[in-house]
Structure 1
Amino acid sequence: MRWLKNTAWCLICLAAVGLAAISGSARAEVTEVRFAQQFSMGYLQFNVMKHRNLLAKHAQQLGLGELKTVFVTFNGPDMMNDALLSGSIDIASGGMPGLLTIWAKTRGSAQEVRGVSAMSQQPLWLNSRNPAVHSIKDFTDADRIALPAVKVSAQAVLLEMAAVREWGDAAYGKLDHLTFSLSPPDATAGLVAGSGDFNAAFTVPPYQNIQLRNPAVHTVLSSADIVGPSSGGMAWTTKRFHDANPKVYRAILDSMEEASEFIAAHPKETAAFYTADSNGKVDQALMEQLLSDPAFRYILTPHGTMKWASFMYKVGRIKAAPASWKDLFWPELHDRDGD
């Protein structure tokens, strides 16, 4: 009898341990997701997710408990990638070069980073207020070009691509010495006022469009001339976060998909969200106008990936190149028709 009682007690204990393990496993996923975005309207899914509380909605549908979201803004991918690797943020965002840079540095390591998804396609314009500059051939040492981040931003890489097209492979860095880092809002204020020590800016919509309201400012180069229709805004995360939070990760993708559909169906409300988040620094009417432009698309499927990867590998910006776009993204996206 004593043996039976002891056996029964052990079985009860084991069952309790098992239930605790299951319960612990259910609670193992994070209860807060920290998103980082930049100044561009290339990340509108985040604005929609924030204002419509979409992540909490999809987390609940997947049986998760309360899931909070935090959104912070960075200027350029360098500091954002540092924050991602240190664990200060969970989801980073930026242009294709930012993702390619951190993917190449971390691939195969415990800190491996891959893309969550694309977010948008939109043209990027290099604007100048120097009337003598009609193409990049006209820039001289007297000119300076503001862009979000030297070397690694999409604008920096596009300028190098344009230099290769104009002067050949060896001259990819011919204009790099003219560039410096400045946030799009500050670059726009300086370019429009003509008060800074620079006369050109390679930024993002809607700031590039605001610049052109000044008749002294004109466009020198468009990304469409260099890479054609290509994914601009991207989101990425670490293997650590991806593997440890499968349900949260699914909720993030579902939220981003719903946000993409909302942007297409409700441009006016989307514009209002972005305007509110920019503290009134952006004209809502301009935002609505841009969202009606077919050149602006908000889709999670990546496009143009290998154009960027091939160039950055060729000039030594990255030490490894993906064999296909799928190498650059986590498997949940692989059923899409990307390139």
Structure 2
Amino acid sequence: MFTRQPHKLASLTLSAALTLSVLTAGLVTAAPAHAEGQLRIAEQFGIVYLLLNVVRDQQLIEKHGKEDGVTIKVDWTQLSGGSAVNDALLAGAVDIAGAGIGPLLTVWDRTHGKQNVKAVASLGNFPYYLVSNNPQVKTIADFTEKDRIAVPAVSVSIQSRYLQIASAKLWGDQDYARLDKYTVNLPHPDATSAIISGGTELTGHFSNPPFQEQELQNPNVHVVLNSYDLLGPNSPTVLFATEKFRNDNPKTYRAFVEALADAADYIAKDKPGAADTYIRVTKAKIDRDALIKIISDPLFEFTITPKSTYPVADFMFRVGAIKNKPASWQDYFFEEPKLLQGS
């Protein structure tokens, strides 16, 4: 479990906002896109970024770069929320961005015919849980104005999109944003602490592994919504880049994709080793055996091939969240032989 001290929600939100603004401000003033041989990656929180943890720990990008005759310097940045990640990418502060399929589609639509941001690869298939510590909340219909639901980025994050899809199924497309007014921006670690400790207006958290599993260790916390119940197994989180970076840095880009594929193979073969990597890279205060159990969950699949992302794109176009309708998942993913079986 995390050892953070409990805080009031207002303090958490303010602290998170200040931290994020400082990080983003620093990124936005960064230099423009690097030349071949340099790579800046923005990631977020959770086991869904395990592929990147392995890539970083084993220096797989550097390894594949050397095999292709280029020395690659890799810089890593951690942000919270798809909005901050998208802003950093469009500001030229990072080259590869990690965020939900929702933020990807938002920036793909925004840059369509311009910077042409597209996905590079998936980070795997994982169920995301909306949990609550309010015993009165059994379904999303039970949330009231007294409740607040933490998400990484209000209205933009994949967690927000899942909540909107669930709302549309329950109340119709015209009411897809019915619960948006109850959502607040908060990084997963801080929201987890608040849900576990209780005592704040934050009663819900749409999270990801391992935070949702840590929250559920508290008997007062229960699952309200499972993303797999909405769309079946799907890829909630992806990596994306601009068309210019891909075209201008073919060797660096290729080394990155090869590194991701190697990391996926490693995790499939060595779950304990992957758990050790996560703890070593993230410094997370989590029990090793519990982490191995989470990573070994048969519902988890660490793969670079995207799965069932198009239903999210179709929904976002249907409700007007994006203006451009993709014909298929391949419209918002770069062409890559390793991803031919995606969806």
1:94-109 equivalences under 5 Å are 94-109=99-114
1:259-338 equivalences under 5 Å are 259-333=263-337, 336-338=340-342
Contact 2:139 2:225 in 1 (8 A): yes
CA distance in 1, matches of 2:54, 2:107: 26
Shift of 1:280: 3.1
2:145 aligns with one of 141, 166, 170: 141
Amino acid of the structure 2 residue aligned with 1:68: K
Hey, what does 2:60 align to over in structure 1?
54
Contact 2:123 2:235 in 1 (8 A): yes
Shift of 1:142: 1.1
Shift of 1:333: 4.3
1:72 aligns with one of 77, 92, 98: 77
User: What do residues 249-285 of structure 1 show as CA deviations (whole Å, max 9, x unaligned)?
Assistant: 1111100000010011111111111112332333322
Larger radius of gyration: 1
CA distance in 1, matches of 2:246, 2:288: 35
Residue aligned with 2:277, SS: helix
CA distance in 2, matches of 1:323, 1:280: 40
Residue 250 of structure 1 pairs with residue 254 of structure 2: yes
Residue aligned with 1:276, SS: helix
User: What do residues 144-181 of structure 1 show as CA deviations (whole Å, max 9, x unaligned)?
Assistant: 11111100101101001111111111110111110001
1:7-26 equivalences under 5 Å are none
Q: Unaligned 5+ residue runs, structure 2? A: 1-33
Contact 1:29 1:248 in 2 (8 A): no
CA distance in 2, matches of 1:325, 1:113: 14
Residue aligned with 2:93, SS: coil
CA distance in 2, matches of 1:31, 1:116: 18
Amino acid of the structure 1 residue aligned with 2:222: H
Residue aligned with 1:58, SS: helix
Hey, what does 1:63 align to over in structure 2?
69
Q: Which moved more, 1:326-335 or 1:250-259?
A: 326-335
Hey, what does 1:3 align to over in structure 2?
none
Instruction: Give the structure-2-normalised TM-score.
Output: 0.88
2:90 aligns with one of 85, 93, 107: 85
CA distance in 1, matches of 2:315, 2:209: 24
Hey, what does 1:16 align to over in structure 2?
none
Shift of 1:143: 1.0
Instruction: Give the structure-1-normalised TM-score.
Output: 0.89
CA distance in 2, matches of 1:51, 1:277: 7
Hey, what does 1:182 align to over in structure 2?
186
Tell me how large the CA RMSD over aligned residues is: 1.3
User: What do residues 184-238 of structure 1 show as CA deviations (whole Å, max 9, x unaligned)?
Assistant: 1000000100033211111111000100111111111000111111112200001
Shift of 1:82: 0.9
Distance verdict in 2 for CA 1:94–1:333, change over 3 Å: farther
CA distance in 1, matches of 2:222, 2:340: 38
Contact 2:38 2:252 in 1 (8 A): no
Contact 1:118 1:299 in 2 (8 A): yes
Contact 1:59 1:67 in 2 (8 A): yes
Distance verdict in 2 for CA 1:195–1:276, change over 3 Å: farther
CA distance in 2, matches of 1:322, 1:334: 21
Residue aligned with 2:87, SS: helix
Shift of 1:334: 7.2
Residue 213 of structure 1 pairs with residue 213 of structure 2: no
Shift of 1:335: 5.7
Amino acid of the structure 1 residue aligned with 2:82: P
Hey, what does 1:113 align to over in structure 2?
117
Hey, what does 2:21 align to over in structure 1?
none
1:225 aligns with one of 229, 234, 238: 229
Residue 151 of structure 1 pairs with residue 151 of structure 2: no
Residue aligned with 1:100, SS: helix
CA distance in 2, matches of 1:275, 1:303: 27
Hey, what does 1:42 align to over in structure 2?
48
